[in-house]
Amino acid sequence: MAQLQYDENGRLLFTEEMKKEYTILLPNMLPLHFRLLEIIFNNNGYHAKLLTTTGRRIINEGLKYTHNDTCYPALLCIGQMIDALKSEDTDPHKTALIMVQTGGGCRASNYIHLIRKALIKCNMEYVPVISLALPPIEKNPGFSVSAPMLSQMITAVCYADVLMLLSNQVRPYETNKGDCDRLIDKWMKKLEDKHFSFATFDRTTAEIIKDFEAIPYRPDPSIVRVGIVGEIFIKYSPLGNNELQKFLESEGCEVYCPGLIDFLIFMGDHHVVETELYHVKYKKYFASLGVKGFFKMMQNKIIKAVKGTRFFGPTPFEHAKKDVEAYISPANKMGEGWLLTAEMVDMIHMGINNIVCAQPFGCLPNHIIGKGMVRRLREEFPQSNIVPIDYDPGATRVNQENRIKLMLSTARQAMKESAEGGAAV
């Protein structure tokens, strides 16, 4: 068994020996994206396992080991990790945890500390916790992201955005149920075989689109188009939003959820805006310009790839930013910042007027730029049908789904009136 080693501050390190022996548990925020990240970790010498568990017991575990004022995504991540460590098929003495650490104003920057505090409470302080951040905030002898690995991770995010975009537009209409998910599995394997090549991104994306276009489908005018916005974890994670997308699809909806690329461009953009407004952090300014420029290029590749097909792509970042300036300042950067409001405005411009805004407990920025902007948007866009849904330890799934059903009832009534010659949906 690997010997435990600590740094000068008493932090437990993930060592070279642990890299050979330990399994690293990955929290599951974006199902498609993190499946690809799991593959990349395993292809680069680590033993990674993506956590896919859901259920009330995870919330209960989180409540045991976190303060009751902790933001809901943190509670869920900690609960899922502790639940996994306690399971019969896990040896906690040969298991490590990993968590993204942003270093920004969001409490996500404190998740690492909260996880370690929870491990002490449940007498598992011997479990190492790895911080995943660029640039690194903490260093571990047995963990590093090499340049080739980073390239694979970045490209995998872009491929996952493509798969998510296309599958959401196909799944509600497929003639043979399951074709879409089987195609996703096929491309997961093919992308692994291609080693997530950036050099072949354009050609591979064209092949993916061609495969999705070949799925037999049946147009259905009764399908309701619904957008999902909100705090990043609750927006994407089936654990965080009680499998919101699956529920919407079971109710006869086509789901549109913005890709992760938009958020990554935003992360670069808000550092650029900060420097331009306050004349600070010039070193970070140039690095952020590079990040923003790269992901804008990747977004444009996707937009170009779907052009001329039956699919629609994301709105160019700068267009979305310009469209939202009448409602919120680009200086709003905490959490999802102005981007969340921009996503709602963008969806309405796209004709997706029915929107679920997922609100986690304890996320103050999200409530301001999410729920706090709904009234203003309704005044500007009377056709908008936005429902904020709260997700917290005390919220019941039945109540959440009933509120969404009421929103869908309003949407279907609007569609009926439109078909009869009334107002546009």
Residue 174 DSSP SS3 = strand
Q: How many other β-carbons are positioned within 10 Å of the β-carbon of residue 424?
A: 10
Q: For residue 425, what pLDDT is reported? A: 43
Cα dihedral value 79, 47, 159, 209, nearest 10? -100
Q: For residue 309, what pLDDT is reported? A: 96
Choose the weakest-confidence range: 12-16, 52-56, 207-211.
Answer: 52-56
Residue-wise pLDDT for 377-393, tens only, equals: 999 999 999 999 999 99
Name the nearest CA neighbour of 257 among 31, 55, 27. Answer: 31
Domains of the chain and any CATH numbers: 16-145 (3.40.50), 223-258+314-419 (3.40.50)
Helix segments in 381-424, DSSP class H: 397-419
- Residue 65 has phi, psi (to 5 degrees) of -120, 10
pLDDT of 41 strictly over 80: yes
How far is Cα 147 from Cα 125, in angstroms, rounded to an integer? 31
Q: For residue 215, what pLDDT is reported? A: 98
Residue type, 230: G
How far is Cα 75 from Cα 95, in angstroms, rounded to an integer? 20
Residue-wise pLDDT for 152-201, tens only, equals: 999 999 999 999 999 999 999 999 999 999 999 999 999 988 778 899 99
Residue-wise pLDDT for 219-250, tens only, equals: 999 999 999 999 999 999 999 999 999 999 99
Could you tell me the pLDDT band of residue 424, with boundaries at 50, 70 and 90?
Answer: very low
Residue type, 227: G
pLDDT of 64 strictly over 70: yes
Element (H, E) at 93: none
Cα dihedral value 41, 155, 358, 412, nearest 10? -130
pLDDT of 102 strictly over 80: no
Residue-wise pLDDT for 242-289, tens only, equals: 999 999 999 999 999 999 999 999 999 988 988 888 887 788 888 899
**Joined tokens for residue 260:** 């992760």
Residue-wise pLDDT for 125-142, tens only, equals: 999 999 998 778 899 999
Could you tell me the pLDDT band of residue 2, with boundaries at 50, 70 and 90?
Answer: confident
